[in-house]
Amino acid sequence: MKPEKEEVEWIKGMKKRIEEEMSKKEIDIILYWKGEMEKLLAKRPESLATLQIEMQNFLQRMQNRIKVLKNALPK
């Protein structure tokens, strides 16, 4: 059976809405992590070693968030 024109239009519209929502969410996520990185840089660490530790902590937070999100996905 061939889908009707209305169904095709509805599907296209839903696809566009989903893509727009995903783009908005991606922007929000990138802005969040950008802000976190700016906070890290604003601290003005005393040494390179301190900066490295702060960056490792930052990366660990990102890895933890990825784990949480992956575990929340339906299997």
Q: What is the pLDDT of residue 63?
A: 94
Per-residue pLDDT of the chain (75 residues; tens, 9 = 90+): 667 888 989 999 999 999 999 999 999 999 999 999 898 888 888 899 998 999 999 999 999 999 998 898 887
Find out whether 40 and 58 touch, Cβ atoms under 8 Å.
Answer: yes
Cα–Cα distance, 29 to 35 (Å, whole number): 10
Q: What is the pLDDT of residue 1?
A: 60
**Contacting residues for 21 by C-beta, under 8 A, at least 6 apart:** none
Picking from 50, 54, 25, 14, the residue whose alpha carbon sits closest to that of residue 38 is 54
Find out whether 59 and 53 touch, Cβ atoms under 8 Å.
Answer: no
